Every structure is written in C-alpha cells, then in structure tokens.
Amino acid sequence: MLELRVNGVVREIAEPPVGRTLAETLRDDLGLTGTKLACGEGHCGACTVQLDGVPVLSCITLVHTVAEREVTTIEGLRDHPLVDAFVRADALQCGFCTPGQIVSAAALVEAEPELTRERVRHAMAGNLCRCGAYPRIEEAVLTWRD
C-alpha cells in the first residue's frame, strides 16, 4: 500500500509496480484526469502538477518518490482565480494543455506575486500550446487578480 497526499486529502493505493509514474497514478488509479498526458516524456508540460508548491512533470516523476510530499493537481486549483483569468482572457483553445498551464502559473504567482511580462515568458516556456494561445496566457497570468 502506498499513501499519497493529493490536494490535501490522504489517498491510499495498492502498491504500484516499480516504474509507475505519478501521472499514471493520478489518472488511472485516482481518476484525476485533469492532469493530461501529451508527450509522456517530459517535453511539453501538459502533465504539470505541484510537489510542495513547486511545478514538476508528473509523467517523468516516479510515484514512489512523492509519498511524503503534498501533490497539488488542477483538481485542487479549480477555484483558483487563474481559472477565471484564463477564461476571461480567452487563454485556451482546445484546452488540452490548459490544466498544466494553470498549475504552472499558480506556482509562479504564488512564488512571485509581482510579475513582469518577461518573467512570465521565461517561467511558462516549458508549457507548450499547439493552438498558440500564448499571448492570452501571458495576459491571464499578468491579470489574474483583476
């Protein structure tokens, strides 16, 4: 049995096989499908979750390494003001990368409340969006408190 803390709740899962990723566990064992898998090898950012408030790529994070830590997924951030900011700014098109974008952005605005455009462009460059909603994402992250 493995115990995980996800979005403030303790979850128990049957002992996972060696090599099981956090993303697989979240999606397949815990039903938290808001975390998306788009590349599965740490290149695109769609699977971003927070570990103790720091964004990590859950598709290349082994679930056995996070047992003692606080995992925050998009499901734990669904009332974050960034969600409204993204919708208001039209910062999504197909929306497949969006949960990962918001999880990354939530960690960013928490760590650095006073953001500049350049800082957003630097910090968010690991979250790919093929629809190209980037200008709106930038706007949403800069105006999330409005």
Partner 1 sequence: MARLIRTEKEVEGRYTEQWIVVEGDDAIDQWPEGPGKVVGQPAPRQDGHQRARGQAQFTADLQLPGLLHAAVLRSRHAHARVTKLDLSGALELPGVLGAIGPEDCHVLQTEPGFHGAPIAAVAAESFSRAREALARIEIEYEELEPLLDPEEAVRRGSLHDEPRRYERGDVDAALAGADVVVEAEYRTQTVLHNSMETHQSLVRWEGDTLEVYISTQFIWGVRDSISQQLDLPPDRVRVVCNYMGGGFGSKNGPGDYTYIAIALADRTGRPVRCALTRREENLATGNRNATIQRIRAGARSDGTLVALDGEFVNAVGWAGWSGPTYGPMEMLYACENLRTLTHGAKLNLPPNAAFRAPGFVEGTFGLECLLDELAARLELDPLELRRRNHADADLVDGRPFSSKNLLECYRRADPHWARREEVRRRSEGPIRRGTGLASQIWYGGGGPPSYAGVRVGSDGYATVLTAMQDIGTGTRTAMAQIAAEELGLPLDRVRVSLGDSARGTYASVSAGSSTTPSMGPAVRAAAADAARQIVEIAAQRYHLEVRVLSLQDGRVVSADGGSWPLEEVTGLLEDAQITGKGARGPNPTGMRVLTFGIQVAEVAVDVETGEVRVERIAAIHDVGRVINPLGAQSQVEGGIIQGIGHTLSEERLVDPRRGTVLTQTLDAYKLPTIADVPEMAVELLDIPDEHLTNLGSKGLGEPPIVPTAAAIVNAIRDATGADVRSLPVTREEMLRALAEAREREKKLAAAPA
Residues in the site for partner 1, rule: CB under 8 A?
27, 33-41, 43-44, 46, 73-75, 78, 83, 86-88, 90, 92-99, 102, 120-122, 124-138
Q: What's the CA gap between 104 and 99, in Å, rounded?
A: 9
Radius of gyration of the chain from Cα atoms?
Answer: 15
Report, in Å, the least distance between residue 119 CB and partner 1: 11
Report, in Å, the least distance between residue 43 CB and partner 1: 4
Indicate the residue among 90 and 110 with the shorter CB distance to partner 1.
90
Indicate the residue among 59 and 68 with the shorter CB distance to partner 1.
59
Tokens of 118: 């350049």
Indicate the residue among 5 and 88 with the shorter CB distance to partner 1.
88
Strands, E assignment, the chain? 2-6, 9-13, 48-51, 54-57, 70-72
